Amino acid sequence: MAALVFGALAGCSDASGDAAAPTAEPTHKAAAPVRLPVPDGFDTETGWSTTASPEATDLQPGSSGFPLVAVAPRSSLVVQAAADGSRVRAFSLAGGKTVWTFTPKALKSARTGVFVEAGKGGEKVVLARHGKTSGSGLNTSRRTTTIDVIAADSSAKATAEHHLDLTEPDDTASSFTATDSGFLVGPVTDGVHEQAVVIDAATGAQRTVRAKTVTVPGCGSGSCTVQASPAFATSQGVVSAFQQQDGCDQWAQGGTPCAYGFQVGDVWTSTSVAPSGMRVGIPLAVTGQYIVAAWHTSDTQTDQPSLSDTKKTTLAVHDLATGKIKAQVRCTSADALTLQPGSAQSSTRLSPNGDFLISGQAGFDLSTGHGHCFTSTPSTKGIVLTAVSDDGTAYGIVHAVDQTEATSLYGRLPIAQDGTDTPERDSARVSVRTGTAKALPTAAEVPVYLAADGHGVFRARDVVAVYPAS
C-alpha cells in the first residue's frame, strides 16, 4: 500500500457550535476530538484530534510543497511536523497515542515538509527543510536543505537513520518533489527539473540527475532523439519527460505528430505502451505499483497539453514496472486544466485493499479495468478526489477555478493555508464503481485518507482529526 502525503481544505468549524479546543501538546494520547462537520458514516464523538499548523505555499507549480501531515499506512501512523521543522510526532492512527517524537538539528527560517516513502526497507518518514544554519561561533550562516530519514517503526525518542545536508546557492530556489517511493530536491519548472538530487530513503544515498539526450522508439515511423528532463522519482527509477522537436509536425497541421512522452528509469518508454493512436503522454502521478498518465492524439509545441472540452483525454493507469495498461477512461473538462508531469500526485491514492485507484478527477476500478470521470461539464462542476475506501466509495473537493496557476493544474489539491479569509470549498461523495456523485452538506470536510478499518483522517486549516466509522 502506498504512503500518502496530502494538502487539504480550509475551515474547521463545529457543525454543532460547541467544539472543544484541540490539545496543543499531546504527550501520551491526543485529546477528545474536535467535532468537524464531516459526511455521515464517521463518529465524531470518538476518535482524536490535535492542532496542526497551516502550510507554506511553494511558488513552483509541480512541486510537492511543504505538507506538515502525512500518513504511514503500513505502520498505521499519522505523522505531523512543526511548521518550523523543530519536531516531528507520530501518532497511532486509530487511537491517537504518541508513538514517537523526533527532534532534528535546529535551522533558522525553516520551510518544512514531511513525507512518507515505502520500500523494501519498510516505511520511512522524510523530514525535508529549507533554511539557514545558525552561524554560531566562527561559522557564517548559510542556506541549506536538510533531509532527515526516520524509520516509521521507531519508538519513543526516534533518531534519524540518515541525515543529509545539501548546500544551496543563494540564487537557487529548490523544491521538494515526492512520490510514495521516491524523492527529488531541486528547482522545478512546469513539473520537470534541469537538475535535481535523488534521495534514497532506504540507504541515505544521494545522486544528481540531469536532463539528458536519449533515443526513444515510436516517433512517427521510427526512433527519435529527444531531451528528457527528470520529473519525479519512483521505485523503478526516475521518470523523465520529453518532447520531440525535429522530424514532426510541430503545429498539428496534419503531418506526423510530434511525440511528447516519458521514460521510466531505463525500464520502458511511453511511446512503446501508448494507447492506440496516442502520441502525447504526460506522467501525472505514481502510487504503489502504478503510474497514471494522460494521453492525447497530438498537441502543438506552443501550448501545454490540457484536459478540456475541445478534445477527449485518455487517462490511463499503467503498471509501473512494465507500462501495461491496467485501466483507462476518456474524459473532457469544461475547465481547461493544464496537464503537467506530477500535477496529480497530491490527489492520487489507492484504496487499502488495492482494488480502486483515484487520481485527480478520475477514479478507476482496477478489477474491471474501467474508470469514471468526475470532471466538469457546462452544467456541473468537477471533483478532485481525496480518498477512496475498499468498497469504491470516494470523497473529493469540488474544483473551484480562481484564475491562479495552482487551480488551473489538473489534479492539484488546495493546501491548508493560513488566514481566516481562505474560502470554504464544497465537497462530494462519489462511487468509483458506478460513477455516481452526490454533493455533501455545505462546509463538510472530506477525509484525506481512509483506513481499511473505516477510520478517516481529516485535515483542516489548523487541526488534524481522526474518526472511526460509525
Read off φ and ψ for residue 347, nearest 5 degrees. Answer: -115, 20
Three-state SS letters, 319-365: ECCCCCEEEEEEECCCCCEECCCCCCHHHCEECCCCCEEEECCEEEE
Q: Which residues pair with 396 in a beta bridge?
A: 385, 428
Question: How high is the pLDDT of residue 140?
Answer: 81
What span, in angstroms and rounded, lies between the C-alpha atoms of 286 and 233?
9
What span, in angstroms and rounded, lies between the C-alpha atoms of 79 and 123?
12
Question: How high is the pLDDT of residue 413?
Answer: 86
Question: How high is the pLDDT of residue 62?
Answer: 64
The 3-state DSSP class for residue 197 equals: strand
Q: What is the pLDDT along the chain (470 residues), one digit of tens a residue?
A: 333 334 433 333 333 333 333 333 444 456 668 999 999 999 999 999 999 888 877 656 667 889 999 999 999 999 999 999 999 999 999 999 999 999 999 999 999 999 999 988 899 999 999 999 887 777 788 889 999 999 999 999 999 999 999 977 666 678 999 999 999 999 999 899 999 999 999 999 999 999 999 999 888 768 899 999 999 999 999 999 999 887 787 776 667 778 889 999 999 999 999 998 888 999 999 999 999 999 998 766 557 889 998 889 999 999 999 999 999 999 999 998 999 999 999 999 999 999 999 999 999 999 999 999 999 999 999 999 999 999 999 999 999 877 666 678 899 887 655 444 456 789 999 999 999 999 999 989 999 999 999 999 999 888 999 999 99
Q: Which residues pair with 31 in a beta bridge?
A: 49
Question: How high is the pLDDT of residue 8?
Answer: 39
Question: How high is the pLDDT of residue 429?
Answer: 98
Question: How high is the pLDDT of residue 15?
Answer: 36
Contact 102, 91 (CB under 8 A): no
Contact 98, 27 (CB under 8 A): yes
Question: How high is the pLDDT of residue 184?
Answer: 96
Question: How high is the pLDDT of residue 255?
Answer: 75
**Left (φ > 0), alpha (ψ -120 to 50) or beta: where does 453 sit?**
alpha
Contact 324, 272 (CB under 8 A): no
Residues 6+ apart with CB under 8 A from 404: none
Cα separation of the two ends of the chain: 24
Cell of 154: 521507531
Question: How high is the pLDDT of residue 420?
Answer: 44
What span, in angstroms and rounded, lies between the C-alpha atoms of 165 and 144?
7
Contact 431, 447 (CB under 8 A): no
Question: How high is the pLDDT of residue 25?
Answer: 41
Across the beta sheet with 108-119, what order do the strands follow? 108-119, 122-132, 143-151, 162-167
